[in-house]
Amino acid sequence: MSGQGTAVVIEDDEDVLHLVEMLLKQSGFEVHSGLTGSEGVELVRIESPAVVTLDVGLPDIDGYEVLRRIREFSDCYVIMLTARADEPDMLMALQSGADDYLTKPFRPRELRARIGAMLRRPRAREGKPADVISPSLEPYPVASDSQVSTLSHNGLVLHEDTRTAKLFDAEIRLTRSEYDLLVELMRGGGSVRTKADLVRAVRGEQYSNGGYVSEVDERAVEVHVGNLRRKLDENPRDPRWLLTVRGVGYRMAPPRSL
């Protein structure tokens, strides 16, 4: 990674702060750092970074509140760094809009790998990947226009050139991970995407078999899908967009008239 733009580190532990700063600088970022949540929010507002690393335990306001404020004006990639290894903390981070979650102490190469995976998005697609098809389903077409790079399904429209989403012509704010998951599912039409496939897609490892996918990774996908359903105001009894295939993954709901 080189010439990656700007990164912001929000961390009150100076040892961790200097380590993350060094890793990001070695990766080609211009790095700005804040020791408090309030300072970090202002740095993100001023610098418009591509990546933010955010500590959960800050001296003024906690990382979840910092993330909530950041998400009011930025869709930058956010990695939460925390000493808390419990699943509820991971779920809270992702539900608050984080793209990834890393527990301290972490290996420097793992943080670099996570950031590298994020920066492979949005990724160029030279061709459509092989679909994972449920034996009882045939993929159905999802409306697209290669000239303007849009995907459309049941009133939901994604504009891939601007990475924006509209639901019945009203824009909805998605994190980058949520957007990438939705693109992957919409491109698949009625075919099933396994949770492992979606983890790799979010990482930018398009259907490779080499990347290890843990239960925590798959749980993170479940949280992202839950966030999408909430933002789409999905009716759980009559889903218009996202269907769960039990024990496998997810697919788009069948087309219906608007």
In this structure, the answer to whether residues 75 and 15 fall within a common structural domain is: yes
Q: Is residue 166 part of a domain?
A: yes
Please tell me the predicted confidence (pLDDT) of residue 34. Answer: 96
- What CATH number corresponds to the domain at position 163? 1.10.10.10
In this structure, the answer to whether residues 164 and 114 fall within a common structural domain is: no
- What CATH number corresponds to the domain at position 29? 3.40.50.2300
Three-class SS state of 93? helix
Which residue intervals of 48-172 are DSSP H helices?
63-70, 87-95, 108-119
Torsion of CA 8, 11, 16, 21, to 10 degrees: 20
In this structure, the answer to whether residues 161 and 231 fall within a common structural domain is: yes
Q: Is residue 258 part of a domain?
A: no
In this structure, the answer to whether residues 110 and 156 fall within a common structural domain is: no
In this structure, the answer to whether residues 186 and 233 fall within a common structural domain is: yes
In this structure, the answer to whether residues 20 and 71 fall within a common structural domain is: yes
Q: Which domain holds residue 112?
A: 5-119
CB atoms near residue 180 (< 10 Å): 23
CA–CA separation, 100 and 111 (whole Å): 10
Please tell me the predicted confidence (pLDDT) of residue 216. Answer: 75
Q: Is residue 103 part of a domain?
A: yes
Identify which of 180, 33, 34, 20 has the alpha carbon closest to the alpha carbon of residue 110.
20
Q: Is residue 131 part of a domain?
A: no
Q: Is residue 81 part of a domain?
A: yes
In this structure, the answer to whether residues 77 and 164 fall within a common structural domain is: no
In this structure, the answer to whether residues 152 and 107 fall within a common structural domain is: no
In this structure, the answer to whether residues 112 and 155 fall within a common structural domain is: no
Mean pLDDT by 10-residue block, N- to C-terminus, for the chain (258 residues)?
Answer: 79 93 92 96 95 94 93 90 76 83 85 79 39 38 58 92 90 87 89 89 62 77 90 92 93 87
In this structure, the answer to whether residues 108 and 149 fall within a common structural domain is: no
The residue out of 119, 154, 175 marking a domain boundary is 119
In this structure, the answer to whether residues 28 and 107 fall within a common structural domain is: yes
Q: Is residue 134 part of a domain?
A: no
List the structure tokens of 66. Answer: 């910092």
In this structure, the answer to whether residues 91 and 158 fall within a common structural domain is: no
Q: Is residue 67 part of a domain?
A: yes
Please tell me the predicted confidence (pLDDT) of residue 229. Answer: 94
Number of domain units in the chain: 2
